[in-house]
Chains A and B, each alone.
Chain A
């Protein structure tokens, strides 16, 4: 599903360059549940941006679903992201002016997939997440747990093969964290590949494999 080879990423820092990822190698099989842990500033978010094709690597190669991401144009990367990747962020990243329903529908709006019943797909997912009664509400009227359920529904709506989650329970209390992790378990059982970036060991332990990012290298 994913193959990173000797991936390096630099950021400009003042007059010089800071190397965030120093030759990362990673292979994730389809249907795997992987957790990547690391301290703050270890490059976890950079790793997620590269995996999600939100950012470009400076050297090395990256293959996602058999396609060479590092050789792709910006437009093709956007298409790949839409079709193959679903994001779940720590701060939910819902569009405040859109309703729950519209937020979940958004990936389908940009997608090429000709889903015949977009509306029923969205409603079914909202039902599955237990938030179908909130479909017309704006995100600011929802609790943290409800917002994350909306974000998960949005990540799943396009039936992507890869779910990337960045600290998905970072803003939630214990009880809500557990319900969200159970959702991830369910999604995994349905065959999706999940990569969770976290610094919470309890969250990481739900994964099949835990990797540590230290000084820009996976160990």
Chain B
């Protein structure tokens, strides 16, 4: 069989039925677009979470409220064990850990939702009482000012460090959740949408004159605090500091009703000492508690649990992808079978003019294959464009498109085209020319 002839005829065939072909191709385009985008989301989420967990450092140990169950092989089952229990961890536990040999630092965290007020602007935020080590442990860089010192922590100084979103919102530069009750920010609330958009486009704001709150006083729960620093933006999944307000833990304990820690990050003096510190930390807290209502988790255990979560996510995406491809493949096959039926007389004419069974089969096979490959390429291109647009405009996490996913998508379109092209091609090729010519 002349492959080139069959290919050429398939091109003609597609071109002469281009409007029908376009609608058929949409199935593959959407299928491939879904494959590319879903893969990029899965890998992007996995990479981001792994990076965040990994950034804790191998020498770091997390102490969480609640009991983490052990699996059959003795590993901590973080997926089933982290229950929503009230925290019983206290600052005294943190102090006890500080005395454990080979512990370099302990970073306790008290967290609550609160309203911060500045210049009659109310902004909802997460108030985090912590130690002077927080910015180092969280890899949170400062865009302005400084973080509080150990001395300020011990002196219960009324100082705070603002997350980037909170700083912007208190300056009136950014829309954030605002408490309505007691709010006198009427001008901001009643401003029409078109004005807000215009302001955003022009980079103008009601409080555009003020560019920094460092050195200013912010009110939280009727207590006044001095802003000493602002964190640089770090929009990430889960543990962003953008919506936080950090203050020394001693100050938080003295000025708020927060008592129980949300978590503690314990830093071992060396990686070699992690296992020893892990056990010692557990024993130190156990000695302070009547029951084991806390968990001590190492970085590798967290990464393992995270790996399990992302594997489940990937399996789910794989299922969705296969379903999408099967649906688009079946759609293509149905369109091609309909096309064979519609073009029965044409097949009869071609056979009468001397086309062999293999030439007819080749033409219809290549038509399906081309349809899938062009649709696949368009879908991959659109997916790639979507990822580019996402990565250039959305900061929460980056979509990652590995080369293997593109190759897989291309091979899959080729596979779908081959698999679903066979039946319509056989159907067309087996027609008796005399019957096909009579077809109405």
Using a CB–CB cutoff of 8 Å, the interface residues on chain A facing chain B are 49, 52, 54-55, 74-75, 78-79, 81-83, 87, 89, 93-95, 97-98, 102, 106-107, 109-111, 154, 158
The answer, among B348, B354, B358, B432, for a CB contact under 8 Å with A81, is B354
B350 in the interface (beta carbon within 8 A) = yes
Chain B interface, DSSP helix/strand/loop, else mixed: helix
* B354 contacts A110, C-beta separation under 8 Å: yes
For residue A79, give the distance in angstroms from its CB to the closest CB of chain B. 7
Give the CA-CA distance A82 to B354 in the complex, in Å: 4
| A217-B37 Cα distance, complex, nearest whole Å | 69
Let me know if A78 and B356 touch, CB within 8 A: yes
Q: Is the CB of B432 within 8 A of A79?
A: no
Pairs A–B under 8 Å by Cβ, sample size 9: A49-B434, A54-B434, A75-B356, A78-B357, A95-B346, A106-B350, A110-B5, A110-B353, A110-B359
CB distance from B411 to the nearest CB of A (A): 31
Evaluate whether A110 and B12 lie within 8 angstroms (CB atoms) in the complex, with A79-B356, A93-B437 already known: no
Question: Which residues of B are found within 8 Å of A78, using beta-carbon distances?
Answer: 351, 354-357
| B16 with A54: CB separation less than 8 A | no
Total number of B residues with any Cβ neighbor in A under 8 Å? 24
> Which of B8, B9, B346, B353 touches A82 (beta carbons < 8 Å)?
B353
Residues of B at the A interface (CB closer than 8 Å) are 5, 8-9, 12, 16-17, 345-346, 348-359, 432-434, 437
Given the contacts A54-B437, A55-B432, A79 and B354 also touching, CB distance less than 8 Å:
yes
Residues of A within 8 Å of B356, CB to CB, are 74-75, 78-79, 110
For A87, list chain B residues within 8 Å (CB): 352-353
Cross-interface CB contact of B357 among A75, A109, A158, cutoff 8 Å: A75
Nearest B-chain residue to A80, judged by Cβ: B354
A55 and B434 form a contact (CB under 8 A): yes
Contact B357 A93 (CB under 8 A): no
Report chain A residues within 8 Å CB of B352.
52, 54, 81, 87, 93
Q: Measured between C-beta atoms, what is the minimum distance from B83 to chain A in Å?
A: 66
Q: Which of A79, A81, A94 gathers most chain B CB within 10 Å?
A: A81
Known: A49-B434, A78-B354, A95-B349. 7 other contacts (CB 8 A): A74-B357, A75-B356, A79-B354, A81-B354, A82-B355, A87-B352, A154-B353
**A78→B345 CA distance, assembly (Å):** 17
Q: How far is the CA of A82 from the CA of B357 in the complex (A)?
A: 13
Q: Contacts of A55 on B, CB cut-off 8 Å?
A: 432-434
